[in-house]
Amino acid sequence: MADINASRAFVRKEMLPEKTPPVAEAGALKWLRENLFSSVLNTILTILSVFVIYWILSHVTGWVVFGIWDAGSLSECRELRDARYGEGVSVACWSVLTDRWDQLMFGFYPSELYWRPILALLVFFVAIAPVLFDSLPRKMLLFSLAAPFICYWLLWGGMIWGPLAVAAGFALPVLVSRFGAGLLGPLGTTVAAVILPVLYWLFAAGPIAGALGSVLPIGITFIESNDFGGFMLAFIIGITGILLSLPLGVLLALGRQSDLFIINKFCVFFIEVIRGVPLIVWLFTASILLNYFLPPGTNFDLMLRVIIMVTLFASAYIAEVVRGGLAALPRGQYEGADSLGLDYAQSMRLIILPQALKISIPGIVNTFIGLFKDTTLVVFIGLLDPIGLSNAIRATTDWNGIYWELFIFIGLCFFVCCYSMSKYSQYLERKLRRDHR
């Protein structure tokens, strides 16, 4: 055996240790070369971007970081700045935020009642949680149904009977269908279930609430809509608009896809007219023109008008998004639903809408983000949203001439809200993806 081995020139018995890769092909250097300096053009772009970033940071960082947080007015801010950093150094004056924080958040809402909007926000979060994340117990949805009335009562206050009386109207169709079926027959029940609540809200709810209020005056201080402002206002208009515009938009989309001539044409007309005209024109219509269209002497809340307009506006956009989703479904889904013997409502509810809405999620969320951003436009008709308040703050002698701090703060708040909305929609898309492709 030893001979055989000896006759061979060389046999390696053990593995060589691994060599380290060439310096340019490993670690940070490789990453740099591939991602930043892969070609002449890329190198130029990289240098340009680094320069841009450096230029911006060098101008902004000091201004932001050394900002002054403890002054009571802009002139005081400038004195503090001169004392701390020397004459003429440009630093931010963040104290406008600490000084006017309450106003930016709540407008002119009475300060001893700030717990109410905060509590309403908490109620909203608890109510929206089971809708957003389906790992939570389904029983919580019952609370979600009650939440709008609770939030309304907390925000505006007044007698508890008003919201209760309105909420009671939703119980009427249930009662009618349970107890009236034998008495009225199927046709009568359906008609009654639609008409009774409408009549109740129009004629009975007000007097009932008034009567109960005079017997049992349970309530909290009533706050005028004029006192609402700041981000609270933006949130109220945005959230209400979002919640109401989705169902309305879906109905409009179904109407536009429907075979019924009159309903189809009405929906097309409505959607096109609303989408063709900018929101700001609609808001002016709401503020100066609506009085012409209502019975003489009616005068209702500007904020309510704005919410209605914003809702109608967003619902037209959502209708178009949902229509895209409906059109994208293969014809076979509609035919499959028909061949199962489902009627229109069932096939829409069980087969078509779940799929169409899933496809339209990104578009719907984009519309919501647009709606929330558009709440800033109410400043033009005199509501005190964050931008309106920033104008009001700038008009006071203390803070005359302050721009950037307020704009940056407002922009940042909107960014956080809108960005988290778009992140949630991406999460939802991933969760609902069934990968048929």
Partner 1 sequence: MATLSDPPSEGFRLSQLLYDTRYRSMTIQVIAFMLIMAGLIWLANNTVQNLAALGKDFDFGFLTTRAGYDINQRLIEYSNDSTHGRAALVGILNTLLVAFVGCILATIFGLFAGVLRLSNNWIVSRLMGVYVEMFRNIPTLVWILIVFAIMTEAMPAPRDFRGEDAEAMMSLFGTVAITNRGVYIPSPVVGDGALILGLVFLASIIGIVFFRRFAKARQEATGEQLPVLWVSLGLLIVPSLVFYLILGRPITLQYPELTGFNFTGGVHLRNSFIALTLALALYTGAFIAENVRGGILAISKGQTEAAFSLGLQPGRTMQLVILPQALRVIIPPLISQYLNLTKNSSLALAVGYMDVRSTLGGITINQTGRELEGMLLLGLFYLITSLIISAAMNVYNNSVKLKER
Pick 222 or 269: Cβ nearer partner 1: 269
The encoded tokens of residue 96 equal: 């406008």
Q: Residues 49-78 vs partner 1: string with x where CB under 8 A?
A: xx-xx-------------------------
Amino acid in position 279: L
Contact present, 375 and 418 (Cβ < 8 Å):
no
Which of these ranges, 72-80, 184-192, 199-207, 244-252, lies near partner 1 under the rule CB under 8 A?
A: 184-192
30 interacts with partner 1 by CB under 8 A: no
42 interacts with partner 1 by CB under 8 A: yes
Pick 224 or 338: Cβ nearer partner 1: 338
45 interacts with partner 1 by CB under 8 A: yes
One residue of 280, 328, 340, 432 binding partner 1 per CB under 8 A: 280
Q: Residues 338-377 vs partner 1: string with x where CB under 8 A?
A: -------------------------------x---xx-xx
Which of these ranges, 70-78, 110-118, 260-268, 300-308, lies near partner 1 under the rule CB under 8 A?
A: 260-268
One residue of 36, 164, 204, 428 binding partner 1 per CB under 8 A: 36
User: What distance lies between CA 75 and its chain's CA centroid?
Assistant: 38
221 interacts with partner 1 by CB under 8 A: no
Q: How far apart are CA 320 and CA 17, in angstroms?
A: 65
Q: How far apart are CA 90 and CA 68, in angstroms?
A: 11
Q: Residues 384-403 vs partner 1: string with x where CB under 8 A?
A: ---x---------------x
> Phi, psi (5° rounding) for residue 14?
-125, 155
Residue with tokens 């199962």: 340
Dihedral sign computed on CA atoms, order 65, 68, 74, 77: negative
Pick 225 or 285: Cβ nearer partner 1: 285
Contact present, 291 and 344 (Cβ < 8 Å):
no
Determine how β-strand 158-159 pairs with β-strand 219-220: antiparallel
DSSP for 259-291, please give it: S-HHHHHHHHHHHHHHHHS-HHHHHHIIIIIHH
DSSP character at residue 228: B
110 interacts with partner 1 by CB under 8 A: no
- Residue 365 to residues 189, 193, 427, Cα–Cα distance (Å): 38, 33, 12
202 interacts with partner 1 by CB under 8 A: no
Contact present, 410 and 420 (Cβ < 8 Å):
no
Q: What is the CA radius of gyration of the chain?
A: 31
Pick 35 or 346: Cβ nearer partner 1: 35
Give me the least distance between CB of 304 and partner 1, in Å please: 18
293 interacts with partner 1 by CB under 8 A: yes
User: What distance lies between CA 305 and its chain's CA centroid?
Assistant: 19
Pick 207 or 278: Cβ nearer partner 1: 278
Amino acid in position 186: P
* Binding residues vs partner 1 (CB under 8 A): 34-36, 38, 42, 45-46, 49-50, 52-53, 185-187, 190, 259-263, 266, 272-273, 275-281, 284-285, 288-289, 291-296, 369, 373-374, 376-377, 379-380, 387, 403-404, 407, 410-411, 414-415, 418-419, 422
